[in-house]
Structure 1
Amino acid sequence: MGTLKQITLYIALFSFISPSSAFSLNNCTISTPLKDIQPKVLCYKMGFFRIPSIPGNTHILDISFNAFTQIQIGDFNHLSNLQDLNISHNKISQIQEGAFDSLSNLYSLNLASNRLQAISRGMLHGLTNLLVLRLDNNYIKDIEETAFSTLHNLKVLNLTKNQLHYVEKIKPVLASPHLEELYIGSNHLNAFKSYEMSTNPLALKILDFSNNPFATFQLTDNIFQFLNHLDLSYCGQNGTMTWNVTEKTFFASVKSLYFMDVHMSVQNAANVLQSFQNLLNKIRLNGNAELNRTDLLLNACSPVLQVLRLKTNKIKHLNEHMFDLCSNLTEIDLGDNEISNIPPGMFRGFTQLKTLRLQINKFTRITNFFQNLFTLEFIDLSRNSIKTLNCDVFANLTQLKMLYLYSNKISIIESCSFKDLKSLEVLRLGTNNLLRIGDAFRNGPQSLLELQLSFNKLSKIEKYTFRNMSQLKYLHLQDNQISEIESYAFGGLKNLSSLFLSSNKISAKTLTKHQDVFSGMPNLENLGLDANIILFTDDQLKFPPFKDLKHLTVLSLHSQRRGIGQIPSNLLQGLSSLEMFYVGNTNLAHLNPDTFKFSPQLWFLDLSKNALSEDHSIPAELFHPISRLTKLLISRTQLRSLNFLLNANLSRLSTLKATGNEIDLINKTLIQSLPRLEVLDLQKNTFTCDCDNEFFIDWAKNSNSTQVVYLNKYMCSYPSSLRGMSLSAFNTESCTLNIDFICFLCSSIVVFLTLLSSFVWHFLRFQVVYAYYLFLAFLYDNKKKQSGSTFQYDAFISYNAQDEPWVMEELIPKLEGEQSWRLCLHHRDFEPGRPIIDNIVDGIYSSRKTICLITKNYLKSNWCSSEVQVASFRLFDEQKDVLILVFLEDIPTHQLSPYHRMRKLVKKRTYLRWPKPGEDTKIFWQKLKLALEAKEGHKSDLLIP
């Protein structure tokens, strides 16, 4: 196994896990050192049916647990730098020959758990530098003869759980001259005959034959000259197997043998063990409950054997002399048996034993059977039923470094129990029935580095409980019932670096009742207080509990069972070195702006699973003292926006995780306020798919400095018509305004309107003017109708100023003097200073009738034309007989042609003509009187004289 571990370590050197800023992928994540030019890309469990688009300089690619059915030529053409490729747990049944031609730099290829049935000649072509190849758990039945001929550097090959059935089918893999590890277990091999595999020495160092139903095992040639590990576990069938190794020297190099739960008789098992000439250093005989253990040991034990494992053999009784032939053992594993006692002299003569495993047995007490094991460094007595520890039970174990006593029934520890363990470094007493510690550690062990007391029933930590353990670095007290901690309870632990008190009954009162609860630990770096019942109600504490922890770098307060209430402004007082703070899942509703003023070194903050929905729950000022913050976790906090980050001055923030919130918009200003952001995770938010998110969508797709994790999983929540659509699928092009096109369109419209206006004014200016007057008349008409006003005049007189003498001498005396009509005249009734057109419109609509006195001068007057136009609009609009035409001189029809409005009126209406000199004027005045007296809505019967 050593070679595989070395190769795995070699590959792992390239993949320290931290976010990368090299690329932004839709459905994959990048996990490599920052700014790495050879990223590690993780695309597992994505439901892919085809190889996704991957950055060309990818170093490690994991696309396992997808739905690929085949690998085609071209799938990896752009990945020439790839060194580690994992395509396991797919549905691949076909790999085209030449599909891996471009992967000449690949070191490791994992094709395990697919549906391959054969390895063809060109399937692995091009993998000239491949070191590790996994093909386990497929359906491989055949391997072509030259399939491995190009794999000159292959060292590790795993073909476990296939359907090869015959050893000769494995022979093609030996074309790889440097193959050192071969795993061919669970292939239904009924027989092994070495000549079917090879007759020449092989380079194999590790060979796994496990889980094959061998009926025959025959080795006739010395082909395993370099083999040092052989696995024959679970081999044989029905208790029979012919074992034929013609020369005992054929396995002379084997130092490690796995011979667990074999399906063969005692004699066959003995024959197997005898083939190794008592040269084994390590042997596993686990699970051989049906065989006679003594006989096996007689054949397995030798002076050179160092490691013996006898787990799960249902051993109940141990014989004093059963290990006499194994007296040079350094490790013995008797775990998971039924042993309740060990004879006192059983290990007499063991001068090199360092590790003794007795876990999962039936011990209820420990006697002095360790007294002669002076070299012991590790004892595992976990998961038994031990109730008490006597004072002399570990006497003389001066070299013991690790003692496991967890998962027993120990309720009391005497102060003398560990007094002789001068070298003990790790003591695990978790999952027992300890109610109190008392003086258990009054006498040390002083060299202890790690003490585990978790999962007991401790309720109180008394003053100076651990004072004689000055070297202790790790103290585990989680999952007890601790509710009281006295002052200086941890006094004397000057080297303690980690204290775990999670899942107890520690309250705010426990921490603040005394002012020296955590005193005496000047070098504490990690303090776990999560999952307790700490609830603060005060804004400020009288006794800040952490004031003496100057070197604390990690503080965990998350998951308080009753919620934390609030974080007092001086809770972190004294924590000047704090770097990581966990306060998630505490039902926290708001944060005081001064919370972190005592912790300027903070770079990691977890606020997830809180109730921070209010706008000012997280003030921007909160982050001003912690400008070094690089990672912020605020997932599932009911946030509606991230605007609190705008003025937070987090110029170093590289990772922001805000999943499961109600964020609908990410604007450009927010992104620009986080210049070093490398990883952004906003999954399961309520995004709005509209142009307000245009910048974020384009930036997330194209940014080469920030990785937006699983962008394709961001779904639209608004508008309802787009709900459920991928945010990345929203078409942002519809939001883009083409300024050049808009300028062209506007300028074209201006030119067109200018030309149109010029054309209209040149050719249709009279119509435009007329339309304007009609519009004014229309407005006035509506105004009059709404006001319901009565007429002020009987007639409006429209005439030219040159015809004013006739009006003054003839018309006014006759109509106003004799007839008593009220007339509206320009010079008399128009309002001074008011626009003329307004006076005209007001005069016409204030009169029952309009009398137009038509002469040649009248036709030439613009104002008279306006009066006619307004009067004619009133005529057409009201459909009433309101217009009277009076010709004061003869005007031929052809002279009316230029005045189309007048010509149309003359054609459609009857009119009056002033008699010529010498003619009687009585008839004219009579007809004019009849016209004025005619009711509105009835035409007067005017006759043309």
Structure 2
Amino acid sequence: MAEFILLLIIPFVSSMFIGTHCIERPLIKNQELVTNYSYKLLSSVPKNVSLETTVLDLSHNNIKNLETTDLNYLLYLKVLNISYNLLTELNKNIFDSNNHLEHLDLSYNQLKNVSCTFPDNLRYLDISYNHFRTLSVTRGLGNLVKLEYLGFGVEQFLHSDFEAISQLKLQRVFINLNNLSDYQNGSLLMLNTKYLHLESLLMKKDIFNLLFDAVNVSESLELSKIDNVVYGITSNILRIAKNSRVTDLTMYDFSLPWNILTFILQVIWHSPVEKFHLSEFTLVGFINRVQFDYSNSSMKELYLNNIQSKVFLFNQTILYRLFSEMNIENLTVNSANFLFMECPLKPSSFQYLDFTSNAMTDDVFQNCATLTKLRTFIMVDNKLQALVKVSSMTSKMIALQHLDVSRNQLHYNEETCSWSQSITKLNLAFCSLTNSVFKCLPKNIRWLDLSKNDIAFIPLNIAYFEKLEYLNLAYNRFFDMPDCTLLPRLNVLHIEYNQIPYPSTDSIHKCKNVSRINMGNNPFHCFCEIRTFIKTVRKSPERMNSWPENYVCELPDNVKGVMLADFYLPEIYCNIYILVPVIVVPIILGLALLFIVCKYCDVPWYLKMIWQWTRTKHRTRKSQSGDWELRRDFDFHAFVSYSEHDASWVKHTMLPSIENTDNSIRICQHERNFLPGKPIVENIINCIEKSYKSIFVLSPHFVQSEWCHYELYFAHQQLFTEKKDNLILILLEPIPQYIIPSRYSRLKALMAKRTYLEWPKEKSKHGLFWANVKAAISINLSDLHHEEPHSETQVLLHDQENIHSSEST
């Protein structure tokens, strides 16, 4: 029964009955509560079914009985499927509480009688494949004025049994004839239906009388599972066809030889039948040439689907010529393994040709000039290869409007194409085509499907497609929207499932006249560039198909999965005109303010001096914490060396600032501490050796003094011989390098390598200056007998290479 789909049934019911599993799944769809208990080996109806259930599936179980209490509390039940069970009877009042029941499937059970009263709202009732002897069980169906579908099967067809349902206006009736044993003539004529389906036509008594009535019940007749009837039909088919009112005939699931097929086809050709569908049939026997009369026919459409042949050696021209010469409008031959099709010998009536899923090559209909009325040509899933040959195939089809050659492995080598100028709709989906395909397209095309190909962009050197209104580029390799200036009338654009990170502003602007765009399921990069696209969509979201659910960020990872409609990036991150005044300008102003403060407040100098004082104090403590023994005693904290021109500054500024009243710091000065009578050089050496440090007051005058040079020499020697860091350099005045004589190489070397203290002219800085000097020479001389300065420790700051030497230069 799967092939019968109810016309007016709740949309979701059919999906519930197919492919279900042993899982209880209450689902709410369209305000309907669906409960699935199929395939659970149940022997009775579960007691825990929700009161709100509207759709209940109990199919494919082992339920034998239905009790009144099983269903009477399901007041909202609309659909009940209890097919494929073991029901033998139904309680009379079983459905009394189910006033909303519209769909009831009781097929494939073991019912022999139905004594229950069906709800008045019932639209679909299937009681086929049970054990009914007669149709008397349906006498209670006469009140079901809303019934549209009825399926049943009985052993005996009696005229009186159909009187009860003769007043029903049914849309579709299905009758299973598998158990038919007796048919009373005229019984089926009592039915009032638009579509009659008879299944399992076996060679039985009165089968032809039944068929004779069947062709007069409805204009649409379907015959399926026909076995051996065709072998006895030849003597009756003329009578059946002559008295038939059927205009739409469908036959499927049967096999027959070639001569009987052509005979039946010839008889139907001259009957009132306008549409003849043959599906799921097998051709047997030998195929030979037959004389077929195509004249005086009502036939408009012949549909052949899934044709299997057990004949392999035959003249294929016989088969193809039979169909090519048919004077009908529509011919469909699907899944029949046709290798070729003959060109009609004279102007054909074909307006619609469909050869889907065959094995035809692009040699078919080449140079065929008789298909002048053909409007629709479908060659889906064949063996077409060259796009140029496909175009030439259509060149003489002057009325062709719709061509579908999708699902073929086509290629194009940039040859000249010759399409029919009448083509307005072309389907080239799933054909492995590249960008060059745009050079081989009909110029008057209005509808074009190029989905599932290998196209990355539309070449700019092609002619305009001035009439193109619909373009499908889904499942390709586009990195941006196409240039819509080439498509001035484009109305609908599909470009989903490509590689577009974000549509460029230029492409959005060029496609502003396109009213419907589907760009979903692209790997969108949610950076600044995509903001323009989001703003454009928000202005007219109805223009973008599947917005917003199919427009999701792919990168960066922190927003992956976020819909573009919910993505937000502040303006300041993307707009340089805002970024400059908000971030860059304050930074520039801050730097300028810092420069001004440093320049006019000498902040760097203060920082440098504080740093020197801190490092000096640290090193002094570290030196005094050692347990090395000195090799001799010190009498002075420092020996001061200076030029006579700087004596006034030393005597009146330096010494009073360093020496305290309690003589805690003692300075060795040559005027007061040199021993009379001794040579000057000896006094210098003795004073340097008895002093913990040596202070040199540097100035241009210092450079010109020979004695200062001696004193510096001896102190420098002591630095290397005893590895004692004992030098303190005070730069009283700047000394340009060029005025230092070349013979004073040691002075140049010291000034280049060692950090010195510069005397500040500002009085406010003197305090910090003298604090640094005191820190450099501060030591308790009484403890020197137990300590020795670290041989590699500098009293001043860590050497900062070339800082002051470059300044002095």
Alignment TM class, shorter chain as reference: 0.5 to 0.7
The one-letter code matched in structure 2 to 1:630 is E
Find the aligned partners of 1:762 and 1:535 in 2 and give their Cα distance.
Answer: 84
**Counterparts in 2 of 1:593 and 1:187: CA distance versus 1, 3 Å:** closer
Find the aligned partners of 1:456 and 1:729 in 2 and give their Cα distance.
Answer: 66
Asked whether the equivalents of residues 524 and 549 of structure 1 are also in contact (C-alpha less than 8 Å), the reply is yes
SS across alignment from 1:544 = helix
Find the aligned partners of 1:272 and 1:542 in 2 and give their Cα distance.
Answer: 58
Aligned equivalent of 2:449: 606
**Counterparts in 2 of 1:281 and 1:680: CA distance versus 1, 3 Å:** closer
Answering whether residue 425 of structure 2 is matched by residue 425 of structure 1, we say no
Aligned equivalent of 1:686: 523
Find the aligned partners of 1:814 and 1:683 in 2 and give their Cα distance.
Answer: 89
Structure 1, residues 136-162: CA drift from partner, whole Å, max 9, x if none?
Answer: 3169xxxxxxxxxxxxxxxxxxxxx99
Find the aligned partners of 1:541 and 1:239 in 2 and give their Cα distance.
Answer: 64
Aligned residues: 595
The one-letter code matched in structure 1 to 2:738 is G
Aligned equivalent of 2:422: 577
Aligned equivalent of 2:256: 386
Aligned equivalent of 1:204: none
Aligned equivalent of 1:743: 581
The one-letter code matched in structure 2 to 1:523 is K
Aligned equivalent of 1:558: 406
Answering whether residue 139 of structure 2 is matched by residue 273 of structure 1, we say yes
SS across alignment from 2:299 = coil
Structure 1, residues 544-588: CA drift from partner, whole Å, max 9, x if none?
Answer: 22212233222222222xx212265433x2432322222222222
Find the aligned partners of 1:678 and 1:162 in 2 and give their Cα distance.
Answer: 59
Asked whether the equivalents of residues 283 and 310 of structure 2 are also in contact (C-alpha less than 8 Å), the reply is no
Find the aligned partners of 2:382 and 2:362 in 1 and give their Cα distance.
Answer: 10
Find the aligned partners of 2:354 and 2:278 in 1 and give their Cα distance.
Answer: 19
Find the aligned partners of 2:213 and 2:590 in 1 and give their Cα distance.
Answer: 113
Find the aligned partners of 1:238 and 1:705 in 2 and give their Cα distance.
Answer: 54
Find the aligned partners of 1:303 and 1:767 in 2 and give their Cα distance.
Answer: 113
Answering whether residue 232 of structure 2 is matched by residue 375 of structure 1, we say no
**How many percent of aligned residue pairs carry the same amino acid?**
12
Find the aligned partners of 2:109 and 2:755 in 1 and give their Cα distance.
Answer: 123
Answering whether residue 218 of structure 2 is matched by residue 359 of structure 1, we say no
Answering whether residue 761 of structure 2 is matched by residue 878 of structure 1, we say no
Query: What is the TM-score of this pair, normalised by structure 1?
Result: 0.49
Q: Post-superposition shift, 1:531? A: 1.6
Asked whether the equivalents of residues 435 and 457 of structure 1 are also in contact (C-alpha less than 8 Å), the reply is no
Find the aligned partners of 2:528 and 2:251 in 1 and give their Cα distance.
Answer: 66
Aligned equivalent of 1:340: 203
Structure 2 residue aligned with 1:528, among 373, 378, 381? 378
Aligned equivalent of 1:473: 329
Answering whether residue 194 of structure 2 is matched by residue 260 of structure 1, we say no
**Counterparts in 2 of 1:698 and 1:231: CA distance versus 1, 3 Å:** closer
Query: What is the TM-score of this pair, normalised by structure 2?
Result: 0.56
Structure 1 residue aligned with 2:176, among 309, 312, 317? 312
SS across alignment from 2:738 = helix
Find the aligned partners of 1:324 and 1:766 in 2 and give their Cα distance.
Answer: 118
SS across alignment from 2:435 = coil
The one-letter code matched in structure 2 to 1:372 is R
Aligned equivalent of 1:630: 469
Find the aligned partners of 2:108 and 2:361 in 1 and give their Cα distance.
Answer: 58
The one-letter code matched in structure 2 to 1:531 is D
Structure 2 residue aligned with 1:299, among 158, 161, 172? 161
The one-letter code matched in structure 2 to 1:273 is R
Answering whether residue 272 of structure 2 is matched by residue 399 of structure 1, we say yes
Please, which runs of 5 or more residues in structure 1 have no aligned partner? 13-41, 46-65, 70-84, 93-113, 119-134, 140-160, 174-182, 189-209, 246-250, 437-454, 772-797, 800-812, 816-838, 851-870, 884-892, 909-945
Aligned equivalent of 1:288: 153
The one-letter code matched in structure 2 to 1:214 is N
SS across alignment from 1:585 = coil
Structure 1 residue aligned with 2:513, among 676, 689, 703? 676
Find the aligned partners of 1:386 and 1:395 in 2 and give their Cα distance.
Answer: 16
The one-letter code matched in structure 2 to 1:564 is L
Please, which runs of 5 or more residues in structure 2 have no aligned partner? 16-24, 37-47, 58-65, 610-644, 647-703, 707-733, 774-809
SS across alignment from 1:694 = helix
The one-letter code matched in structure 2 to 1:650 is L
The one-letter code matched in structure 1 to 2:297 is K
757-766 vs 681-690, which moves further: 757-766
Structure 1, residues 469-521: CA drift from partner, whole Å, max 9, x if none?
Answer: 44x221213334444455xx03545443222233333334446xx4x13x222
Find the aligned partners of 1:601 and 1:625 in 2 and give their Cα distance.
Answer: 10
Find the aligned partners of 1:548 and 1:162 in 2 and give their Cα distance.
Answer: 71
SS across alignment from 2:532 = helix
Q: Post-superposition shift, 1:674? A: 0.9
Q: Post-superposition shift, 1:293? A: 0.8
Q: Post-superposition shift, 1:376? A: 0.8
1:697-712 equivalence runs, <5 A: 697-700=534-537, 703-707=540-544, 709=546, 711-712=548-549
The one-letter code matched in structure 1 to 2:355 is L
Find the aligned partners of 2:588 and 2:754 in 1 and give their Cα distance.
Answer: 41
Structure 1 residue aligned with 2:344, among 479, 490, 508? 490
Find the aligned partners of 1:162 and 1:695 in 2 and give their Cα distance.
Answer: 65
The one-letter code matched in structure 2 to 1:545 is M
**Counterparts in 2 of 1:732 and 1:673: CA distance versus 1, 3 Å:** same
Structure 2 residue aligned with 1:408, among 277, 281, 287? 281
Q: Post-superposition shift, 1:256? A: 11
Aligned equivalent of 2:723: none
SS across alignment from 1:672 = helix
Asked whether the equivalents of residues 398 and 421 of structure 1 are also in contact (C-alpha less than 8 Å), the reply is no
1:646-657 equivalence runs, <5 A: 646=483, 648-657=485-494
Find the aligned partners of 2:272 and 2:74 in 1 and give their Cα distance.
Answer: 52
**Counterparts in 2 of 1:162 and 1:414: CA distance versus 1, 3 Å:** farther
Structure (1 or 2) with the greater helix fraction: 2
Find the aligned partners of 2:537 and 2:460 in 1 and give their Cα distance.
Answer: 24
**Counterparts in 2 of 1:651 and 1:568: CA distance versus 1, 3 Å:** same
Find the aligned partners of 1:240 and 1:383 in 2 and give their Cα distance.
Answer: 31
Structure 1, residues 772-816: CA drift from partner, whole Å, max 9, x if none?
Answer: xxxxxxxxxxxxxxxxxxxxxxxxxx99xxxxxxxxxxxxx999x
1:850-865 equivalence runs, <5 A: none
Answering whether residue 743 of structure 2 is matched by residue 843 of structure 1, we say no
The one-letter code matched in structure 1 to 2:531 is E
Asked whether the equivalents of residues 556 and 581 of structure 1 are also in contact (C-alpha less than 8 Å), the reply is yes
Find the aligned partners of 2:583 and 2:391 in 1 and give their Cα distance.
Answer: 73
Structure 2 residue aligned with 1:660, among 497, 519, 522? 497
Structure 2 residue aligned with 1:545, among 389, 393, 409? 393
Find the aligned partners of 2:604 and 2:546 in 1 and give their Cα distance.
Answer: 70
SS across alignment from 2:161 = helix
Aligned equivalent of 1:87: 31
**Counterparts in 2 of 1:846 and 1:691: CA distance versus 1, 3 Å:** farther
Asked whether the equivalents of residues 361 and 382 of structure 2 are also in contact (C-alpha less than 8 Å), the reply is yes
**Counterparts in 2 of 1:115 and 1:552: CA distance versus 1, 3 Å:** farther
Asked whether the equivalents of residues 257 and 280 of structure 1 are also in contact (C-alpha less than 8 Å), the reply is no
Q: Post-superposition shift, 1:528? A: 1.5
Find the aligned partners of 2:465 and 2:483 in 1 and give their Cα distance.
Answer: 15
Q: Post-superposition shift, 1:337? A: 2.3
SS across alignment from 2:466 = coil
Find the aligned partners of 1:666 and 1:760 in 2 and give their Cα distance.
Answer: 50
**Counterparts in 2 of 1:394 and 1:272: CA distance versus 1, 3 Å:** same
Q: Post-superposition shift, 1:349? A: 9.2
SS across alignment from 2:508 = helix
Asked whether the equivalents of residues 530 and 559 of structure 1 are also in contact (C-alpha less than 8 Å), the reply is yes
Aligned equivalent of 1:213: 90
1:176-195 equivalence runs, <5 A: 186=80
**Counterparts in 2 of 1:730 and 1:872: CA distance versus 1, 3 Å:** farther
**Counterparts in 2 of 1:485 and 1:720: CA distance versus 1, 3 Å:** same
